[in-house]
Amino acid sequence: MTLYSLLFDHGLTRIDPETAHHLGFRGIRVAAPALRALGRPGDPVEALGLTFPNVLGLAAGFDKNAVGIDALAALGFGHVEIGTVTGEAQPGNPRPRLFRLPRDRAVVNRMGFNNDGAEVVAARLERRARRGDTVLGVNIGKTKVVPDDDQAAVEADYEKSARLLTPHADYLVVNVSSPNTPGLRNLQSVEKLEPLLQRVRRTADEACPRRRVPLLVKIAPDLADDDVLAVADLALAIGLDGIIATNTTISRDGLRTDAAEVGRTGAGGLSGRPLTARALDVTRMLRQRVGTDLTLIGVGGITTVDDARARLDAGADLLQGYTAFIYEGPLWPRRIIKGVKGVTR
């Protein structure tokens, strides 16, 4: 057990999770100059037509509003995915909306895409003084008030975000898999997803005509296997660049935490160790389906070096983490990156 783990278990767990997040993020930004002096660990990885400084990135959700990209990179992450950003600013769901399950090394969130909106985030990225070689991903989602059954409105909402944010992104992600925006996961059906992705692709090309920004889709672990394969086939058919597998789960199966405590957290997406097996299976399934034609980013339940190696062995080109970063602390990215050094899929 690390010193951070002791501090987390006996101190930080007494602080409201969302408050702890903001305090921790502020501390990372303050410490960034000292962290940069440690240098960047790991081996470069070629994926999506880009050079990633190493295999591990920070998943969307930590830096929703692009306020600490380079400070987070100073921790060792080779890429940082901001967002989810929506077309319009929105406050998200009422608090409390973030819960820890320490016995499971898991988190439940129902944040609801709280963010400053595409216009504000784009302006912030425009002002950003970029440091180093960090790859920036931008994750976009649906504004809550846009009805999921109005396909034209949904596409227009994503189009606004893509138009404003693509010029600042190294890669773009369409998020249709968060469980915290009503109706969002319905967009994972192929008949709705195909026109949406094609609309975003056209918009991205128009917004950034001098370079092609790779486009990926992020899917849920709760999709049936046949639906996972259908998304894989669609991605190949329309020339998508990659798939991120997976988002959080609505399942609560197999948890060590007392059922009454789990029940008190209410609805939301579960992330962390309980997601490991399913996210691994989905990654393996996707790789077997798409061959070498798409980039796969493995995320969900990656805590240890063995977890990271298993995900790479299953076919992931890149990895992302979030919940383990919360539980394991600021040195966790470097431990994972050093542990998989020299490993290729």
CATH number at residue 266: 3.20.20.70
What span, in angstroms and rounded, lies between the C-alpha atoms of 60 and 239?
Answer: 23
Decide if 217 contacts 173 (C-beta within 8 A): yes
| Inside any domain, residue 156 | yes
Is 54 annotated for ligand binding? no
Residues 6 or more apart in contact with residue 331 via CB below 8 angstroms: 2, 4
264: burial class by Cβ within 10 Å (0-12, 13-18, 19+)?
exposed
Report yes or no on 134 lying in a domain: yes
Q: How far apart, in whole angstroms, are the C-alpha atoms of residue 302 and residue 273?
A: 7
At 249, phi and psi to the nearest 5? Answer: -115, 150
Residue 130, pLDDT above cutoff 80: no
Q: Per residue in 41-79, pLDDT tens?
A: 999 999 999 999 999 999 999 999 999 999 999 999 999
What phi and psi values does residue 324 have, to the nearest 5 degrees? -60, -35
Separation between Cα atoms, residue 225 and residue 227, nearest integer Å: 5
Any domain includes 212 = yes
| Domain annotation covers residue 216 | yes
pLDDT of residue 340: 97
Domain assignment present for residue 276? The answer is yes
pLDDT in tens, 272-294: 999 999 999 999 999 999 999 99
What is d(CA 253, CA 271) in angstroms, rounded to the nearest whole number?
12
Residue 344 belongs to some domain of the structure = no
CA distance 240 to 277: 26
The whole domain housing 275 covers: 3-339
In a domain, 345, yes or no: no
For residue 265, whether the previous peptide bond is cis, meaning omega lies within 30 degrees of 0, is no
Q: Which residues does the annotation mark as catalytic?
A: 178
Alpha-carbon span 322 to 299, nearest angstrom: 9
Residue 248 marked as a ligand binder? yes
Find out whether 52 is annotated in a ligand binding site.
no
Please state, rounded to an integer, the average pLDDT across all residues of the chain. Answer: 95
Report the C-alpha gap between 214 and 47 in whole angstroms.
Answer: 10
Asked whether the predicted pLDDT for residue 151 surpasses 70, the reply is yes
Q: Binding residue per annotation — 327?
A: no
Q: How many domains does the chain have?
A: 1
Closest-CA residue to 101 (of 89, 113, 109): 109
Structure tokens at 210: 């001098």
Asked if residue 29 belongs to a domain, the reply is: yes
For residue 14, what pLDDT is reported?
80
